[in-house]
């Protein structure tokens, strides 16, 4: 089993199974450049504090073997979206809206589209990826 070490913005080191991180396109790219050469590499996650990073890693761990639902890639939100969202995901996002916003920003930083759209749904943001990014640009980080 290959493990990856991540360093959060606030300096915490987190070691996690690489398989858990497969959904993050950013981590995949970082690993393809640096991790192949040096297994002791620490990947910087300087856009995310450790508490939010741990929440995102928990979500990734839960969904590591799941297929991404079709609605994630769809431009239009299905009318029965509430039935398509897993109860575990609904419970996972039962947080203060400010926390959901920071999770959404972390999902964007790590390029995890499924989690990004779940957060947007929770915040009642519907629309294109450009709209998500425009809204994310107006959200200041919570330190």
> Each residue of 7-19: pLDDT tens digit?
999 999 999 988 8
pTM (global) more than 0.85: no
22 pLDDT tier (thresholds 50, 70, 90): confident
137 pLDDT tier (thresholds 50, 70, 90): low
DSSP string over 60-92: HHHTTTSPPPHHHH-SSPPTTHHHHS-HHHHHH
**What is d(CA 93, CA 95) in angstroms, rounded to the nearest whole number?**
5
**Strand bridging mode 42-45 / 3-8:** parallel
Taking the CA atoms of residue 117, residue 118, residue 119 and residue 123 in that order, the dihedral angle to the nearest 10 degrees is 90
């Amino acid at each position: 089993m290959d493990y990856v070490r991540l360093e959060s913005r606030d300096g915490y080191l987190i070691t996690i199974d690489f398989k858990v991180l497969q959904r993050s396109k950013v981590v995949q790219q970082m690993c393809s450049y640096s991790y192949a050469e040096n297994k002791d590499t620490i990947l910087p996650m300087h856009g995310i504090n450790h508490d939010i990073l741990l929440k995102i890693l928990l979500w990734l761990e839960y969904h590591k073997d799941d297929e991404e639902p079709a609605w994630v890639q769809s431009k239009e939100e299905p009318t029965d979206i509430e039935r398509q969202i897993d109860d575990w995901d609904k419970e996972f996002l039962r947080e203060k809206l400010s926390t959901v916003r920071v999770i959404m920003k972390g999902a964007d930083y790590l390029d995890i589209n499924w989690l990004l759209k779940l957060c947007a749904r929770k915040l009642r943001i519907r629309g294109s990826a450009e709209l998500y990014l425009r809204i994310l640009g107006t959200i200041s980080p919570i330190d």
